[in-house]
């Protein structure tokens, strides 16, 4: 089962809290343990130094006495050792041993509670023997060695107490962090739920331009809401354009189909002479050509970017072909080509050829009697095809809408067509990563520039 975002945030906060608590506890454990151990060692060294001074003074005073038990020529009794070390008084937590050579063998004298099994050949300095902390040093003025030992079980007991406390506190901290995290995550995700409900209502009601709650620049959620609101708005614009496109397409398809149906029905209504049949067939052929051109343009407009072919395309060849065809279809038109060098881009030959042809015929058809110049240029990383006519031009209001599918101005540049020519050119430019720029003014002609990325291909 997939966990909710709120529960995941709560678990993450609990995990982070547990890890942090564990790290802090571990650091605190080692710090306290080190401090306690160092304190015991310092206390042991201080006590050992005090006992050593006492023993050295006592041994110096009693060096000429004959005690029952002797080490290295000095007689020492356990009871005297306990009195000197004061193990039943101030230093009762410490046990003492003196070791030396007697009769050629290593022997020792120790207090009554000195733990058995402690080796005689311990190295000098501080060490640990089992649960005991001890220090070994040489007494001045003799070959005797003093061993002072204390019980180190307090360290182990402190570690156990700390571990027991951690075993209780860590689960409690995790549960507390989980509860707090769950509560805080719920408060933080409340705007997300509000945004989710608002987005669902927008989708169900198809009110794409409805403002979303919390949209703004205050924080990440506000910017997310603002982004979604902008996205919904663009979807609404695309929906409106699509609906307008379909209405216009249905209208433009209905007209040639209706005309074609009427001519067919009229031709079949009664017998006609061959000449009349040929005339009707020519008219039917004209309608079929117009319908085929419209369908072809619609298919090109609907082409997906992933389906666009990528191959070297010679633009000068396409421009020359467009100029030649324009001269054939409109012998009275003055169409010139300026292409001093070949230019090659990567793209779809059919789509780019149709785009250049549309630009050329748009100028020829809507600026009759004007001079049309097709100019081909290549820059470092781009190529451009510019079609300019010195006709009457258009106003700013018309220029702003040129390139919209099925838009045909009522004046100045009117003529036959479906209003798809410039729309197809703009779509071709988008599919190839280029742009279409239109510029005009009344009485100053019209210029259309198709810019395409050159992609480093040679001409």
Of 133, 156, 179, the last residue of a domain is 156
Is residue 381 in a domain?
A: yes
Write out the H or E segment, with its range, that includes residue 134: strand 132-138
Computed over every residue of the chain, the mean pLDDT equals: 78
Identify whether residues 15 and 125 lie together within a single domain.
yes
Please indicate whether residue 446 or residue 155 has the higher confidence score (pLDDT): 446
Backbone dihedral angles phi then psi of residue 48, each to the nearest 5 degrees: -60, -40
- Rounded to whole angstroms, what are the CA distances from 305 to 233, 245, 405, 440? 23, 19, 18, 30
Question: How much is the pLDDT for 373?
Answer: 92
Is residue 68 in a domain?
A: yes
Identify whether residues 273 and 312 lie together within a single domain.
no
- Residue 314's CB is within 10 A of a number of other CB atoms, namely 15
Residues of the chain with pLDDT > 70, as a percent, come to: 81
Identify whether residues 327 and 268 lie together within a single domain.
no
Mean pLDDT over residues 161-169, rounded?
82
Is residue 170 in a domain?
A: no
Is residue 338 in a domain?
A: yes
Identify whether residues 339 and 448 lie together within a single domain.
yes
Question: How much is the pLDDT for 387?
Answer: 92
pLDDT tens string 388-433: 988 888 877 777 767 665 666 654 444 455 566 787 788 888 888 8
Residue whose pair of structure tokens reads 């451009």 in the numeric block: 384
Is residue 212 in a domain?
A: no
Is residue 109 in a domain?
A: yes
Please indicate whether residue 244 or residue 172 has the higher confidence score (pLDDT): 172
What is the extent of the structural domain holding 123? Answer: 5-156
Question: How much is the pLDDT for 456?
Answer: 46
Identify whether residues 416 and 323 lie together within a single domain.
yes
Identify whether residues 288 and 340 lie together within a single domain.
no
Task: Give the pair of three-digit tokens for residue 27.
Answer: 């650091």
Mean pLDDT over residues 327-353, rounded?
86
Is residue 326 in a domain?
A: yes
Mean pLDDT over residues 13-20, rounded?
82
Identify whether residues 285 and 410 lie together within a single domain.
no
Identify whether residues 249 and 275 lie together within a single domain.
yes
pLDDT above 80 for 363: yes
Identify whether residues 275 and 316 lie together within a single domain.
no
Q: Pick the range with the lowest mean pLDDT from 11-20, 207-216, 351-360.
A: 207-216
Question: How much is the pLDDT for 406?
Answer: 62
Mean pLDDT over residues 143-171, rounded?
81
Q: What is the 3-class SS of 278-330, one letter each residue?
A: HHHHHHHHHHHHHHHHHHHHHHHHCCCHHHCCCEEEEHHHHHHHHHHHHHHHC
Residue whose pair of structure tokens reads 């038990």 in the numeric block: 69
Residue 110 gets which letter from DSSP?
E
Is residue 176 in a domain?
A: no
* Domain total of the chain: 3
pLDDT above 60 for 88: no
Mean pLDDT over residues 335-363, rounded?
87
Residue 115 gets which letter from DSSP?
P
Please indicate whether residue 353 or residue 157 has the higher confidence score (pLDDT): 353
Of 254, 272, 301, the last residue of a domain is 301
Distance CA(40)–CA(57), nearest Å, equals 26
Is residue 203 a contact partner of residue 231, using CB atoms and an 8 Å limit?
no
pLDDT tens string 19-66: 888 888 888 888 888 888 888 888 888 888 888 888 777 777 666 554
CATH of the domain at 420: 3.30.565.10
Residue 388 gets which letter from DSSP?
E
Please indicate whether residue 414 or residue 130 has the higher confidence score (pLDDT): 130
Identify whether residues 90 and 149 lie together within a single domain.
yes
Distance CA(387)–CA(393), nearest Å, equals 13
Identify whether residues 374 and 263 lie together within a single domain.
no
Identify whether residues 280 and 312 lie together within a single domain.
no
Q: State the pTM of this model.
A: 0.45
């Amino acid at each position: 089962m997939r966990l909710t975002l709120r529960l995941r945030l709560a678990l993450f906060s609990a995990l982070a809290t547990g890890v942090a608590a564990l790290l802090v506890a571990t650091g605190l454990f080692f710090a306290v343990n080190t401090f306690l151990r160092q304190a015991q060692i310092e206390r042991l060294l201080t006590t050992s130094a005090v006992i050593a001074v006492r023993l050295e003074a006592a041994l110096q005073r009693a060096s000429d006495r004959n005690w029952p038990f002797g080490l290295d020529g000095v007689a020492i009794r356990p009871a005297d050792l306990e009195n000197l070390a004061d193990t039943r008084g101030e230093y009762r937590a410490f046990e003492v041993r003196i070791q030396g050579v007697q009769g050629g063998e290593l022997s020792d004298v120790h207090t009554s509670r000195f733990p058995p099994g402690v080796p005689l050949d311990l190295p000098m300095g501080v060490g640990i023997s089992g649960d005991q902390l001890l220090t070994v040093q040489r007494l001045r003025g003799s070959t005797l060695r003093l061993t002072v030992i204390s019980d180190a079980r307090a360290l182990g007991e402190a570690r156990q107490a700390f571990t027991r406390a951690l075993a209780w506190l860590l689960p409690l901290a995790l549960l507390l962090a989980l509860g707090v995290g769950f509560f805080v995550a719920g408060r933080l995700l409340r705007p997300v739920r509000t945004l989710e409900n608002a987005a669902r209502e927008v989708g169900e009601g198809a009110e794409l331009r409805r403002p979303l709650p919390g949209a703004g620049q205050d924080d990440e959620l506000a910017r997310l809401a603002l982004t979604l609101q902008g996205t919904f708005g663009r979807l609404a614009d695309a929906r409106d354009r699509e609906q307008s496109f379909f209405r216009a397409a249905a209208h433009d398809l209905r007209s040639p189909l209706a005309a074609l149906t009427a001519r067919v029905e009229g031709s079949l209504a009664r017998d006609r002479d061959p000449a009349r049949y040929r005339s009707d067939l020519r008219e039917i052929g004209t309608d079929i050509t117009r319908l085929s051109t419209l369908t072809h343009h619609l298919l090109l407009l609907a082409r997906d970017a992933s389906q666009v072919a990528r191959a070297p395309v010679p633009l000068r060849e396409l421009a020359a072909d467009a100029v030649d065809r324009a001269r054939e279809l409109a012998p009275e038109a003055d169409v010139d080509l300026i292409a001093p060098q070949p230019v090659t881009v990567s793209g779809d030959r059919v789509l780019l050829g149709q785009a250049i042809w549309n630009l050329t015929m748009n100028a020829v058809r809507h600026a009759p009697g004007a001079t049309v110049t097709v100019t081909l240029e290549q820059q470092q990383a781009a190529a451009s095809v510019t079609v300019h006519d010195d006709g009457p031009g258009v106003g700013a209001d018309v220029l702003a809408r040129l390139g919209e599918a099925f838009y045909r101005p009522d004046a100045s540049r009117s003529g036959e067509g479906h209003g798809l020519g410039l729309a197809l050119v703009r779509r071709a430019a988008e599919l190839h990563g280029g742009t279409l720029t239109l510029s005009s003014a009344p009485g100053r002609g019209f210029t259309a520039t198709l810019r395409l990325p050159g992609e480093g291909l040679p001409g």
